[in-house]
Amino acid sequence: MERFWEQNRTTFRKIDSVDNLLSTEAVEGMTHKGAPMSLLGGLEKTNLRQQALAALRRAITTGELAPGTHLVETDLSERLQISRGTLREAMRQLQQEGLISSGARGRLAVRHLDTADVRDIFEVRSALESLAARTLADRADREEAVRELERHIRQMEEASDGSLEERIQADLDFHHALCTLTGNRTLVHSWKSLEGSIRMSIMYAGVDQAISNMSAHRHAGIVQAITTGDPLTAVHAVEEHMTDTIRTLVGSDLEQHPA
C-alpha cells in the first residue's frame, strides 16, 4: 500500500491524510496517526473537475474510501481545494458510473456491492463482450484486431510487476479494446457506462482474487478463440471467462444461486 501512495504522490500539489476528510461515520475504524498519505489532497488549478473525478474514483476503487463511506461535500471540497460546484459535477459523474449512491435524505455514500450486484455486473459484461468477440471473429480482416488484442495481452504481462492499479488498468484496457475494435459505438458506450461498477467488482473479494482474475493467460484464450474465425467459439470463450471470474469473486454463493 505504501508503494501505491508513493507512485501517486506527484499527481497532486499537496497530499494530505484523510483525517477530518469524512464524516464521523466515514472515519470510524481508520487510523489517524501514521496513516498513509491520501490521494484526496489539494489539486492543481487546471482541469479541476477531471482531477477531482480521478482522485475520487481512485480512492473508491482502491478502498481508501470504503463501501458505505458517507461523502461530506464541505469536507471533500476543502480537502481537494475545489469549489463545491466543481465537486458536485464530479460526484454526479461518479453516480452515473455506479461508484456512489444516494441514500436517506439524499446523502451520498460509496456504493456497497453485494453478491447479487457482482453477478449482475458480470452477466451484463458477458453479454456485451460476447457480442464484441462474435463480431470480431466474424470479420474477414480480424487479424488486425487480433494483433491489437495481443498487444494488450503483452501490456498485461508487463503490468504484472507493477502496482495493483496498473494491473487493473491493463485488464480494463484489454476489455475496452475488445469492444472498441468492433466499431460499434453503442456497444462501447454501454460498456463504458459500467466501467465504474466493473472497477469496484474486481476488488469485491480482495486483492488475491483480483490478481488471479487479471492474469494475461486467462485473457489469451479469448484472443485465440477470435483467431479461429468461429463466432460461437469466441462467444463461448468470453462466457467461460466471465463465469470463472464470478466463481472466483463470489465463491460458493455461485453454486447456491446459479445463473
Residue 219 has pLDDT above 70, yes or no: yes
Residues 6+ apart with CB under 8 A from 20: 27, 75
Average pLDDT, rounded, for the chain: 81
Mean pLDDT computed over 132-140: 97
The reply to whether 130 and 231 lie within a common domain is yes
The reply to whether 158 and 73 lie within a common domain is no
**What's the structural domain count of the chain?**
2
- Domain of 67, CATH number, reads 1.10.10.10
Beta bridge partners of 100: 110
Q: Are 42 and 81 in contact (CB under 8 A)?
A: yes
- For residue 35, what pLDDT is reported? 47
User: Under the phi-then-psi rule, with left for phi > 0, alpha for psi from -120 to 50, and beta for the rest, what region is 15?
Assistant: beta
> Higher pLDDT residue, 33 or 108?
108
Residue ending a domain, choose from 87, 110, 133: 110
Q: Which domain holds residue 161?
A: 115-256
The reply to whether 129 and 102 lie within a common domain is no
CA atoms within 13 A on the CB side of 141: 3
Residue ending a domain, choose from 75, 110, 145: 110
The reply to whether 130 and 245 lie within a common domain is yes
Residues 6+ apart with CB under 8 A from 218: 241, 244
Q: Which three cell numbers stand for residue 233?
A: 467459439
Least confident range of 16-25, 168-177, 214-223: 16-25
- For residue 11, what pLDDT is reported? 43
Residues 48-65: pLDDT tens digits?
A: 888 888 889 888 877 788
The reply to whether 142 and 88 lie within a common domain is no
- pLDDT band of 254, cuts 50, 70, 90: very low
Q: Which three cell numbers stand for residue 90?
A: 464530479
- For residue 110, what pLDDT is reported? 92
Q: Are 234 and 136 in contact (CB under 8 A)?
A: yes
Which percentage of the chain shows pLDDT scores above 90? 47
The reply to whether 104 and 120 lie within a common domain is no
The reply to whether 183 and 96 lie within a common domain is no
The reply to whether 106 and 120 lie within a common domain is no
Mean pLDDT computed over 203-226: 88
Residues 6+ apart with CB under 8 A from 34: none
Residues 2-36: pLDDT tens digits?
A: 443 344 444 434 333 333 333 333 333 333 344 45
The reply to whether 145 and 223 lie within a common domain is yes
The reply to whether 227 and 169 lie within a common domain is yes
Residues 6+ apart with CB under 8 A from 52: 43, 80, 82, 86, 87, 90
Residue ending a domain, choose from 95, 110, 125: 110
> Higher pLDDT residue, 6 or 141?
141
Residue 187 has pLDDT above 60, yes or no: yes
Q: Are 179 and 191 in contact (CB under 8 A)?
A: yes
Residue 128 has pLDDT above 60, yes or no: yes
- For residue 49, what pLDDT is reported? 84
- Domain of 250, CATH number, reads 1.20.120.530
pTM for this predicted structure = 0.72
The reply to whether 106 and 124 lie within a common domain is no
- For residue 71, what pLDDT is reported? 93
The reply to whether 130 and 56 lie within a common domain is no
